[in-house]
Amino acid sequence: MTNVKSRADCGECRQLLSSVPLFADLPAELMAALTASATCLRAEAGELLFREGEAAEHFLLVRQGCVEMMRFTSEGEERVFHLFRDGQLIAEAAMFMPHGRYPMNARAQCDSAFYRLGRAALRKACESHPPLAMRMLESLSLRLYRQVNEVDWLTASSASQRLAAYLLGLHRRQGDNLSLPISQRQLATHLGIRPESLSRLLSDWQQAGRVRGRLRQWVVCDLPYLQQLASAATRTF
């Protein structure tokens, strides 16, 4: 990775960090302390930013690009848990883990730029400014709640329901023309189904006129069908 730092970078870092809801409207001196040692980094597509098990001394703020959070299954398959894009934080929760290690691998999906901020600075900011600590607790609690719902959904749903819910999530962000952010093999692992089962589902849906496309490019042709399949995943809160 290329390491670049300047005063201009720190100013831009503060501006970008202040656009994250977690850090919005914080005192200027607190933001200055958080970003005083910030470093601007660049990574090429496929480059690992940190590895599972490494000491978690920094969290990241995506300046430009896309970063995958992933693990390898016992069979060696890649499981992508989340994608982070411009203006999003990566691994801020890991700064508070008692074991002090990253729980996943972070990999640049494309040529990316981001800021690296220090664990010690974040912890000190939370200690000195309780409203930030409360925001952090609320954010982590909401993330835990979503993860519980996801596990519940994965264990209770069928393969077709999980695929429908995933495609609907993309549809809300992209519209009818979908571009899968990960490969079909990675998607199958993410959904907890076999790659051949995913391929067969997409083929069946194409024949039935539900979707059309190939590889990573798909078009939703029957939105009500997908909505009906995924309706069990919808919660009231």
164 and 230 in contact (C-beta within 8 Å)?
Answer: yes
162 and 176 in contact (C-beta within 8 Å)?
Answer: no
Task: Compute the distance between CA of residue 1 and CA of residue 58 in angstroms, rounded to an integer.
Answer: 15
Bigger pLDDT: 232 vs 188: 188
pLDDT tens sequence across 115-166:
999 999 999 999 999 999 999 999 999 999 999 998 899 889 999 999 999 9
115 and 13 in contact (C-beta within 8 Å)?
Answer: yes
Q: Which pLDDT value is given to residue 1?
A: 54
Q: Which pLDDT value is given to residue 8?
A: 44
> Which residues have C-beta within 8 Å of that of residue 155, sequence separation ≥ 6?
none
Q: Which pLDDT value is given to residue 2?
A: 52
Name the token pair of 88.
């999003």
Residue 234 has pLDDT above 80, yes or no: no
84 and 107 in contact (C-beta within 8 Å)?
Answer: no
Task: Compute the distance between CA of residue 34 and CA of residue 12 in angstroms, rounded to an integer.
Answer: 13
User: Which helix (H) or strand (E) covers residue 35, if one does?
Assistant: helix 28-35
Environment class of 159 (CB within 10 Å of its CB; exposed 0-12, middle 13-18, buried 19+) = middle
Task: Compute the distance between CA of residue 94 and CA of residue 103 in angstroms, rounded to an integer.
Answer: 7
Residue 184 has pLDDT above 50, yes or no: yes
This model's pTM is above 0.85: yes
pLDDT tens sequence across 76-125:
889 999 999 999 999 999 999 999 999 999 999 999 999 999 999 999 99
The label of the residue with tokens 């220090």 reads 118
How many residues would you count in the chain? 237
pLDDT tens sequence across 35-65:
998 999 999 999 999 999 999 999 999 999 9
66 and 116 in contact (C-beta within 8 Å)?
Answer: no
